[in-house]
Amino acid sequence: MSTFPGRNPSGLPQPDDDARVHAARVRSHIRQRIEAGDGWIPFAVFMDLALHAPGLGYYAAGSQKFGREGDFVTAPEMTPLFGRALARQVAEILEYTGGEILELGGGTGVLAVDILGELDHLGLLPARYRILEPSAELAQRQRQRIHQSLPTMIDRVEWMDRLDGLESSPAGFRGVVIANEVLDALPVHILAWRQEGVFERGVALKGDKLVWEDRPASCSLQAAAEGLGLSIADCEVPYVSEVCPAMTDLVTRLAQSIDRGAVLLIDYGFPRAEYYHPQRNGGTLMCHYRHHVHDDALFLPGLQDITAHVDFTAVAEAGVDAGCQLAGYTTQAQFLLNCGITELLARTPADDVAAYLPQSTAVQKLLSPAEMGELFKVLALSRGIDAPLLGFAEGDRIGRL
Which residue has its beta carbon closest to ligand SAM? Answer: 105
- Looking at residue 357, its amino acid is L
Strand partners, 330: 378
Half-sphere exposure at residue 121, Cβ-oriented, CA atoms within 13 angstroms: 13
Work out how close the CB of 159 gets to ligand SAM at its nearest, in angstroms, rounded to a whole number: 11
Half-sphere exposure at residue 365, Cβ-oriented, CA atoms within 13 angstroms: 14
Interface residue with ligand SAM, options 49, 157, 185, 339 (CB under 6 A):
185
Residues 6+ apart with CB under 8 A from 48: 57, 187
Strand partners, 287: 294, 306
Work out how close the CB of 263 gets to ligand SAM at its nearest, in angstroms, rounded to a whole number: 13
Could you give the CA distance from residue 24 to residue 245 in angstroms, rounded to a whole number?
Answer: 29
The answer to whether 44 touches 278, Cβ cutoff 8 Å, is no
Q: Is 90 in the site for ligand SAM (CB under 6 A)?
A: no
Work out how close the CB of 104 gets to ligand SAM at its nearest, in angstroms, rounded to a whole number: 4
Q: Is 360 in the site for ligand SAM (CB under 6 A)?
A: no
Pick out residues in 13-42 that bind ligand SAM (CB under 6 A): none
The answer to whether 349 touches 287, Cβ cutoff 8 Å, is no
Q: What is the DSSP letter of 396?
A: -
Interface residue with ligand SAM, options 42, 80, 99, 106 (CB under 6 A):
106
Residues 6+ apart with CB under 8 A from 378: 264, 265, 266, 328, 329, 330, 331, 332, 335, 391, 392
Pairing of strands 173-180, 239-243: unpaired
The answer to whether 75 touches 180, Cβ cutoff 8 Å, is yes
Stretch that binds ligand SAM, among 99-107, 210-218, 296-304, 332-340 (CB under 6 A): 99-107
Pick out residues in 151-180 that bind ligand SAM (CB under 6 A): 180
Work out how close the CB of 65 gets to ligand SAM at its nearest, in angstroms, rounded to a whole number: 8
Interface residue with ligand SAM, options 135, 331, 338, 359 (CB under 6 A):
135
Half-sphere exposure at residue 392, Cβ-oriented, CA atoms within 13 angstroms: 22
Interface residue with ligand SAM, options 85, 86, 111, 265 (CB under 6 A):
111
Work out how close the CB of 170 gets to ligand SAM at its nearest, in angstroms, rounded to a whole number: 23
Interface residue with ligand SAM, options 182, 217, 263, 318 (CB under 6 A):
182
Work out how close the CB of 82 gets to ligand SAM at its nearest, in angstroms, rounded to a whole number: 9
SS3 content of the chain, % helix, strand, coil (to 5): 40, 25, 35
- Looking at residue 38, its amino acid is D
Q: Is 318 in the site for ligand SAM (CB under 6 A)?
A: no
Q: Is 104 in the site for ligand SAM (CB under 6 A)?
A: yes
The answer to whether 85 touches 117, Cβ cutoff 8 Å, is no
Q: Is 134 in the site for ligand SAM (CB under 6 A)?
A: yes
Question: Of 93 and 372, which CB lies nearer to ligand SAM in the complex structure?
Answer: 372
Work out how close the CB of 112 gets to ligand SAM at its nearest, in angstroms, rounded to a whole number: 9
Q: Is 71 in the site for ligand SAM (CB under 6 A)?
A: no
Mark 260-289 with x for binding to ligand SAM (rule: CB under 6 A) and - for no binding: ------------------------------
CA 269 to chain centroid: 10
Question: Of 77 and 317, which CB lies nearer to ligand SAM in the complex structure?
Answer: 77
Work out how close the CB of 24 gets to ligand SAM at its nearest, in angstroms, rounded to a whole number: 23
Residues that bind ligand SAM (CB under 6 A): 59, 74, 76-77, 104-107, 111, 132-135, 138, 180-182, 185-186
